[in-house]
Chain A
Amino acid sequence: MAVIVNQLKLLAGGEAGDGVFAVSDMLALMFARAGLEILTTQTYSSRIRGGHINASVRVAEREILSQGDELDLLIALDLETVELHRKNVRDHGIILYDNSQGEIDLGELEQRHITVFPIPARKIARERLSAPIMKNIVMTGAALTAINFDPEFEFLGDLIRQRFLSKGEKIVAKNMEAAAAGQEIIQQANKLTNYRMERRQRARKMLLQGSDAVSFGALVAGCRFMASYPITPASDIMEYLVTKFPKYNGVMVQAEDELSAINMAIGAAFSGARSLGASSGPGIALMIEALGLAAVTETPLVLVDVQRCGPSTGMPTRMEQADLNLLLYGAHGEIPRIVIAPSDIEECFYQTIRAFNLAEKYQCPVIIATDQYLSQSQRTTWPFDLSKVVIDRGMLQTDEELNNLSNPFRRYLITERGISPRSIPSQEKGIFKTTGVEHVETGNATENPDARTRMMKKRFLKLDTFRQEDMQPPKFFGNPESDITIVGWGSTKGVILEVIERFRQEEALDLKLMHLVDIWPFPDQAVADVLHRSRQVIVVENNFTGQMANLIRQQTGIECSKVGKYNGAPFSPKELYQRLKELVVISEKIPT
């Protein structure tokens, strides 16, 4: 077996409360600081203590597109973790496990040349360090040594100091002692492993998850108000912004429920603040009535849906892309809205900023659809270009503009582009009344059929303007000449790209990916043009009914093959490769 350098997928697992995520977070950050590329995932349950949880970290020198397949290294903080994941460890891989509570049956592991290191981490932490909590640091020290990384604890030392210095030098020293104990056990075992991790020189990259990018994007976009109700997996956003807002004179309110949260966000937007709501399926369902209010009163609102498995409570900590219909059609009556689905960390940031600009430009709700996987997966990412950020407040009127009006201000003035001038409270010449009741240009209520017709047309005219001025066509990857088109949206982009590369390498078959970011208004023409020229179209998405495939049929009349997954986990590359292989009709191979 040749030594594998800088190519690793590890999984740390244990019971909730074992400090599993501390292990994966620390390792990921160390690899990132060593100049390597990272993609992490978290799997956990809706409980605080007990129950199996795990986190994976995939490391490589080149950009990583998905969470990958087999494990090179399993770090098991309990015996259950070994039983659950041993079959996923590849031949010649490594298993580290805490044997304080018993030994595992080596069984097939020996034939598969898997190197097993029993580490009495609990025992060491309790007996030698008198700090049971440090068992995960013992395992971290052992793991680093088993993969031949950071032998002098340069990266680990920095990280431990950074995390624990506030608790005193003694705690720092004790953590280092814990790591050294883990290192010692591996060294004494005197078994060689096939893995080596080496530092690489490159410009600094960030390590952050999708929800960080959405939250930071909101801050940079000038969002200064957020109202939200705790819900997995969307709470990360409120928890991030509440720590940043004080310095920038913003406020995050934890509302009593989602009905309240969205109405608060609408109120703040009416006052002129850039305002955000964020939730997940159950909360979004409660917000739907007020979404209509935002649309009919033409109040700018940005709403994030971090999708999780539904329906009802579903599987709160697992990913799905099954809210698409809710986000596109959720409303009584008909409303203009814009729906955007970022597909990676960069898009989470830049599309959130764009969403705030679009919300103010078009004075309608803009919904950002992410999911648990994208939102809670950390990836190495180039620093965002803050100089590229533009803030466009649309038709928001200055006092001077209002003073220069020859006629009294009409908040819902019918214009050629459907967009009306907007004032905010405290502007003397901009006083207006708004209501969820149908209204005329002044904002006063009406039931006049002609006025109603005009106002409906005016509101929907904004979407025509959006199509002309702002709509982003789908993005294309792979071989543009390929007549087999895979269609994706949201977080599936990475895994589809990885699989396309595999088809090229293993089957000499070129595919192309059409990935939709702007989902509504739907880019009908751009999609139809490409799909009409495709011999085969396969839509890959994480839901049961094929919501995107159905949307494509509705908008273009084109029937697509569907590849769906709805068990709570994102597609793995191997699985998607096999599913596509069953479907792809290889009538002619296109030379590469």
Chain B
Amino acid sequence: MVTLELYNQNTVKSQWCPGCGDFAVIKSLKEALVSLEIHPKDLVITAGIGCSGRAFAYLNGYSFHGVHGRALPLSTGIKLANEALKVLVLGGDGDGYAIGMGHFPHAIRRNLDLTYVVMNNQTYGLTKGQVSPTSDLGYRTTTTPAGNIEGAIDPMAIAMSSGITFLARGFSGNPKHLTKLFERALAHKGFSLVDVLSPCVTYNRINTYDWYRDHSYYLDEEPGYDSTDRMQAWNTLLHNEKIPLGVIYQGERPSYEDLRPTNTREPIALQALHDIDYSEVMEEFF
């Protein structure tokens, strides 16, 4: 039986500020994992560096908290070595869209079966309030005292153009909706991204819970929105004043695991290594 209680085992006390949006992310993730009956023994949580990265310690499961920006490559190795595992990648906007951005489109184009949850608060939290690649123009921080003069990156558009097969955006202020998104993302076969608007209550006084409420809308409530329609997805991303929440796009294409040439689907890491005959390969050297 997979229970919430099971997911609370092997965890440590949170170091997040009271009111942090990331609490809702962890709560919703646990609920989604329980409802999908994924056992912690079959789950690997990977995380990068930042406040969000610390989430790896707040729910049960195998987990690997790596270096800054490299959670996606780490996860690629973990998943390919054992395709039977569910791999959940956690990080923030700085970890994923700044230092780790070099890996983002490549992980997506490989379409490995990973679920990537980005806790996007549009600021650097752990290093105490510097500008982030998703910070809005004019945003004042310790490193942009005169206001941000760099435009914000649009990770959703980058994900779309890299060929993502499951793209969603959630909001920490609506954990119920978030849980549903996580359930769908975890169940999706292929790379899934859930970018969660997850307010930083300490350093980001602009993009607050109320600000996000005022500046977002739910795609479920849009009549006729078809998330399997790529053009609609692009239109939604490009032509909206407000931030769309929900599943923006869901498509299908073979994953890297499906396409890799092999005679067996036995997990690579679990196969026996003894008593294998290599003399045929050595013969090629004569």
Contacts and interface: CB of A to CB of B under 8 A. Distances in A.
B281 A219 contact: yes
Interface in B61-95: 61-67, 69-70, 72-82, 84-85
**Which of A247, A260, A265, A292 has the largest number of chain B CB atoms within 10 A?**
A260
A267 B81 contact: yes
A445 B11 CA distance: 11
A337 B129 CA distance: 37
Nearest to B68: A289
B286 A206 contact: yes
A206 B282 contact: yes
A19 B270 CA distance: 44
A175 B66 CA distance: 56
B279 A444 contact: no
Interface of A: 33, 204-208, 212, 216, 219-220, 222, 224-225, 227, 244-251, 253, 255-257, 259-261, 263-275, 289-290, 292-293, 297, 381, 383-384, 386, 391, 393, 424-428, 430-437, 442, 444-445
Given A267-B73, A272-B82, A431-B62, 7 more contacts: A225-B81, A249-B262, A259-B69, A271-B85, A293-B66, A428-B39, A433-B63
30 contacts: A206-B282, A206-B286, A207-B285, A219-B281, A220-B278, A225-B80, A225-B268, A227-B73, A244-B281, A250-B268, A255-B106, A256-B106, A259-B70, A259-B102, A260-B102, A263-B74, A266-B74, A267-B78, A267-B79, A268-B78, A270-B44, A270-B78, A275-B81, A289-B67, A386-B278, A424-B82, A426-B84, A430-B41, A435-B56, A445-B12
Tell me what chain A mostly uses at the interface: helix, strand, loop, or mixed. Answer: mixed
B264 interface: yes
B269 A267 contact: no
Nearest to B278: A220
B63 A434 contact: yes
Q: What 8 pairs across the A-B complex have the smallest Cβ distances?
A: A267-B77, A222-B273, A271-B81, A272-B269, A435-B65, A206-B285, A268-B77, A263-B73
A274 B272 CA distance: 11
B157 interface: no
B65 A227 contact: no
B102 A225 contact: no
Contacts of A219: 278, 281
A428 B65 contact: no
Nearest to A205: B286
B273 A264 contact: no
Contacts of B65: 433-437, 445
Contact of B64 (A220, A270, A393, A444): A270
A49 B72 CA distance: 37
Nearest to A383: B282
Contacts of A290: 66-67, 70
Contacts of A289: 67
Contacts of A265: 77
A264 B74 contact: yes
A222 B281 CA distance: 14
Contacts of A251: 80, 260, 262, 268
A81 B270 CA distance: 54
Contacts of A264: 73-74, 76-77, 80
Contact of B67 (A246, A270, A433, A436): A436
Interface in B34-50: 39-44, 46
Interface string B242-286: 000000000000000000111110111111011010110110011
A260 B99 CA distance: 12
A425 B102 contact: no
B184 interface: no
B60 interface: yes
B262 A433 contact: no
B57 interface: yes
A383 B266 CA distance: 31
Contacts of A271: 44, 77-79, 81-82, 85, 268-269
Contacts of A248: 276
B282 A384 contact: yes
B10 interface: yes
B282 A216 contact: yes
Contacts of B80: 225, 251, 253, 264, 268
B103 interface: yes
Contacts of B64: 267, 270, 297, 433-435
Contacts of A272: 81-82, 269-270
Residue of B67, B264, B269, B274 with most chain A CB atoms under a 10 A cut-off: B269
A384 B82 CA distance: 31
Interface in B208-264: 260-264
A220 B260 CA distance: 21
A247 B284 CA distance: 15
A158 B62 CA distance: 55
A444 B46 contact: no
Contacts of B76: 227, 253, 260, 264, 267
Given A248-B276, A433-B56, A445-B57, A216 B82 contact: no
B285 A256 contact: no
Contacts of A205: 286
A430 B56 CA distance: 16
B286 A249 contact: no
A426 B82 contact: yes
Contacts of B276: 222, 248
Contacts of A427: 41
Interface string B165-193: 00000000000000000000000000000
Given A425-B44, A437-B65, A263 B268 contact: no
Contacts of B261: 246
A261 B10 CA distance: 30
Contact of B285 (A208, A275, A444): A208
Nearest to B86: A425
B113 to A, nearest CB: 14
A425 B42 contact: yes
A270 B271 contact: no
